[in-house]
Amino acid sequence: MTERQYTPQEVGAAIDAADKAYHALGIELLHAEPGYAKMSMKVRPDMLNCLGILHGGIMFTLADTSLALAANVSNVVSYTYSSTIHFIASALVGEELISVTREDDTTTEGGKKSRRSGFYTTTVFGKNSRRIGVIQGVTRIVDKSVIETMREQNG
């Protein structure tokens, strides 16, 4: 039996409902569509490192989550297998961060989109739209349904 077609909004909502890790950090999904995602997170005191600024790993989690939504809402599993983060500025407690992910152009000379890899740039913005960080990620596209894979994993 063939799986029914899911809209990106349905897949995004299913991912949002199932991902406990990013909810524990207070990350919120603002919008997701194939190749694009926007998420937010307010910096809490328990997210600071020993220098009183946002821990880099937590900012990376925000960006990685945004990338995952942009890459997976089309209901085709994409795993991030490489990411590079550039820390540009510090984020402070109370600051709301906005993470915006956009898929980079992956068309070949023949004009076809890559079926195996996705390339994404995520920018994390802080107060007054200042850039906090930029993350470049590469995904491996797997010919599996996100919805079906989640069902298999979660019973």
Per-residue pLDDT of 66-111, as tens digits, reads 999 999 999 999 999 999 999 999 999 999 999 999 999 876 666 6
How high is the pLDDT of residue 108?
63
Give the structural domain span for 144: 8-154
Whole-angstrom distance, CA of residue 112 vs CA of residue 77: 19
- The pTM of the full predicted model, rounded to 2 decimals, is 0.91
- In a domain, residue 1? The reply is no
SS3 120: strand
pLDDT bin (cut points 50, 70, 90) of residue 1 is very low
Q: How many residues does the chain have?
A: 155
Q: Are the C-beta atoms of 108 and 83 separated by less than 8 Å?
A: no
- In a domain, residue 18? The reply is yes
Query: Which of the residue ranges 2-11, 26-35, 81-90 would you say has the lowest mean pLDDT?
Result: 2-11
In terms of DSSP H, where are the helices of 4-44? Answer: 8-18, 20-24
- In a domain, residue 3? The reply is no
Whole-angstrom distance, CA of residue 60 vs CA of residue 119: 16
Q: How many domains does the chain have?
A: 1
Query: What is the domain-level CATH number for residue 142?
Result: 3.10.129.10
- In a domain, residue 14? The reply is yes
- In a domain, residue 110? The reply is yes
- In a domain, residue 135? The reply is yes
Whole-angstrom distance, CA of residue 123 vs CA of residue 104: 13
User: Percentage of residues in the chain with pLDDT exceeding 90?
Assistant: 81
- In a domain, residue 2? The reply is no
